[in-house]
Amino acid sequence: MRGADDDSPSSLLTTITKFLDSNVRLTRNLLYGIGFIGFVVAVKNSGLTHIITCASDIPGSFIARKVRVRGFVEAIGTRGIVHVQHRPVLNIVPIKWRPKSHVQLELALVDISPPGSKWLQDNISQKIIWFQPLSVSDSTVQANIFQWKYILPQSINVMLVGKGICKVKDLTSEQLTSMSLTEEKLLEQLLHQQMIASEKERGMWQIKDKETKGSIISSLKNSLASIAHFCRKVKRKITKK
């Protein structure tokens, strides 16, 4: 006859513990299996093995989670379009079976110039880069592109504007109000770097004559207007909170 406390939680725990102790090999294999399944799920959710063959293959979760994607720059096209072959960090599919990928990237919020396009050609063509997609259209990805310098990733978008090679793209009020938080932070960085470049007369901001000076002042006014609109938008968000 079973005792009154045989069905108690402590009794059940004791039974399970004795079973696991007497089946050490089974317990170890079970733990290995659980760990492997957890690893597979984590890798899948990280996007490290997801194959991107074109812009439309980029999941919306990549944008929301700020995932950075690894790629090989095949060529720099017209208007500074960066043609990239996606190369996942974990290549679980053999190269010969992997679909050919071709992703077209545009430097987000940057008005690319001929010197900027040449810089891209000279510095990142045929090299590995990382890109963080910010928005996706049918054929191109607006992205923040990174290259590794020493041990840290450096934003090429911010670098080109800071060098005075390119300037911040002129945005409409509708584009400014529809920006994501990530895009707003990038825009803030770009405008800050552009202001520094103009103050130090780097690249295109070098003043050579009155006509050029007038053009620069006009560009700066547009940039300052964008900054003011951006600040008002941030203030409205803070006020609502």
pLDDT digit string, tens, across residues 94-134: 666 666 778 999 999 999 999 999 999 999 999 999 999 99
pLDDT for the residue numbered 94: 60
Query: What is the distance between the alpha carbons of residues 172 and 175, in angstroms, rounded to a whole number?
Result: 5
pLDDT in tens, 6-41: 555 567 667 766 666 666 666 567 666 666 565 445
**116-119-120 Cα angle (round to 5):** 90
Kindly list the distances between the CA atom of residue 227 and the CA atoms of 99, 121, 203, 218, in Å, as whole numbers in the listed order: 43, 30, 21, 14
Mean pLDDT, the chain, rounded, equals 80
pLDDT for the residue numbered 42: 47
Mean pLDDT of 155-174: 95
Q: Percent of the chain beyond pLDDT 90? A: 48
Query: What is the distance between the alpha carbons of residues 180 and 202, in angstroms, rounded to a whole number?
Result: 30
pLDDT in tens, 180-214: 999 999 999 999 999 999 999 999 998 765 455 55
pLDDT in tens, 43-80: 455 455 568 888 988 988 899 999 999 999 999 998 89
